[in-house]
Amino acid sequence: MLDRLVRRSERTGFRPSRLKQVLTISENLAPGLREYCREVWGAPIVDTYSTREAGYLALQCPDAEHYHLQSETVLVEILNSVGEACAPGEIGRVIVTALHNLAMPLLRYDVGDYAEAGEPCPCGRGLPVIRCILGRRQNMLRLPSGGERWPLLSSGDIGKLVALAPIRQYQFAQTHRDRIEVRLRVGRPLTDDEARVIVDWAHAKFGGAFRIELTFPAELSRTASGKFEDFISLL
């Protein structure tokens, strides 16, 4: 929703003159949105990571863009595939033990999210760090060979895709084990060269074994709760 607001603001020329910061919650923060919001509105984004079951899990550090786990109220573990704590830079499951829910305790509850563990923060707060939240396991990329991995759309190269054509919004859907649908909302019809470059980008991102199909729906799908996901798996 913030992305839509900022884009409309840029088109209309409206600028919220007294805005100091933008608080985001619920969905994963799209790559490039921090810079875009700062450029158009002149305000930084402050993101929050929370769940319905355990409340606030992590708050963005005031001095950086990573997140401090709220260890005073919740124990959060980032565990790898064999159940060991992830080292900084590793991606693992988010396991939560809420310390404030006495009516229905949740002990080592798997919330279904994956996150990347971070280095200790020099800000002096001393709370554990996660660098970014990647999303739910069901949205992992299933490979034709039988394995699976994160599509990693939060990495910096997604900005290259948006720069290739007048793309207003994008979504990737894995419809078959060997097929990915690139759903785009665009400002105008793409040229053949632009479409070809986007397909090449998708092959480089996901792998040459996938068949890439471009579609141009009027609206992009959301979850039942209203959240938007940039990558969805229909397998």
Q: What is the CATH classification number for the domain harbouring 164?
A: 3.30.300
Residue 59's pLDDT band (cuts 50, 70, 90): very high
Residue 22 domain-assigned (yes or no): no
Domain count, the chain: 2
Residue 31 domain-assigned (yes or no): no
Residue 149 domain-assigned (yes or no): yes
Instruction: Read off the pTM.
Output: 0.69
Does 155 have pLDDT greater than 80? Answer: no
Distance CA 196, CA 207 (A): 15
146 and 91 in a common domain: no
Does 91 have pLDDT greater than 80? Answer: yes
Residue 137's pLDDT band (cuts 50, 70, 90): low
151 and 130 in a common domain: no
131 and 182 in a common domain: no
Which residues pair with residue 78 across a beta bridge? 94
Q: From the CB of residue 93, how many other CB atoms can be counted at a distance below 10 Å?
A: 18
CA-based nearest residue to 30, from 229, 235, 186, 185: 229
Domain extent for 120: 68-137
